[in-house]
Amino acid sequence: MNYSIKIKSPCLNNNDNHYEGGVDTHDRPLRALANASGCVIVVVEYRLAPEFPFPAAPEDCFAALQWVIQQAEKFQVDASKVAVGGDSAGGLLATVVCLMCRDRGMNQPIAQVLIYPNTDLTADTASWHELDALYPGASRENFLALVAMYVPALDQREQPYVSPLRAPNLSGLAPALIITTELDAQRDEGEAYAQRLRDAGCLVTHTRYPGVLHGFFQMGGVIASGKVALAEVAEFLRLRFRDFQEINYPKKRTTETRQCALAVPRLEATAAQRTQREEK
């Protein structure tokens, strides 16, 4: 086995980056999420670039998901109730795992949680150009240099398992919670992906958090928006696990987009604020 699994507290989490990061960078928010949601959190330490370029990372995550399902009894979790999720590059890997499950004839996870995800590694959306100067250390130029370590071949960067926003078919994927932030160069690709999933008939909840930067989810110990986002993810997972058992989904697809209002002092009230739902 070329990846490692760490059982933290059913939700499969992918760490933050294709070339760095790991359990240490995400331990605290994941412990908080486990406590808030009542989920078991499984962290996948997938192989990193440049030593292990694409497709090592998504293949590791797909294999880890199958392994967790096979070992469910050992870990005292329900194999029929496994979600996937991640932030940034981890969000990309989470949704790619859903694509791989569909394409390989495996059951879909019951949910995917995508926190300011990469969905297009060409980094050519309006927000990348608009907010480039906001991130001197993480400029578009630097980002593309990192992408080159993960996917050295230019002709692979528009493939669905690299840039899922460019996939021709996004139907049949797990219900998604997508979180984006106003001041994030990856904002537009995350929001475009939410719309593509809606157009494909998937269940989607999308929330944009105003006035915060990429990475805010890990700052829940010091900023209100991080606490609110963690509460939103926990609520979404609880509802998905409950609804999967109680509701026979099929023909109707529900979507919603909402702006997060951070001025509300009570987290539970803030997380509960929603716009009207549209049914297809």
88 is catalytic: yes
214 is catalytic: yes
Radius of gyration of the chain (CA): 17
Nearest 5°: the CA angle 226, 135, 58 is: 70
Do residues 111 and 83 touch, judged by C-beta distance below 8 A? yes
Nearest 5°: the CA angle 27, 162, 253 is: 80
- The catalytic residue among 60, 120, 184, 188 is 184
- The catalytic residue among 18, 26, 206, 214 is 214
What residue spans of 80-125 are helical by DSSP H?
A: 89-103
User: Could you tell me which residues come within 8 angstroms of residue 47 by beta carbon, excluding any fewer than 6 positions away?
Assistant: 2, 3, 56, 57, 60
Do residues 46 and 96 touch, judged by C-beta distance below 8 A? no
Edge-to-edge strands of the sheet including 204-213?
Answer: 4-7, 41-45, 11-14, 83-87, 112-115, 176-183, 204-213, 254-259, 278-279
120 is catalytic: no
- The catalytic residue among 37, 88, 127, 163 is 88
User: Could you tell me which residues come within 8 angstroms of residue 6 by beta carbon, excluding any fewer than 6 positions away?
Assistant: 23, 42, 43, 45
Extract the runs of DSSP E, i.e. beta strands, from 184-265: 204-213, 254-259
Q: Which tokens is 186 given?
A: 């990856």
Catalytic residues: 88, 184, 214
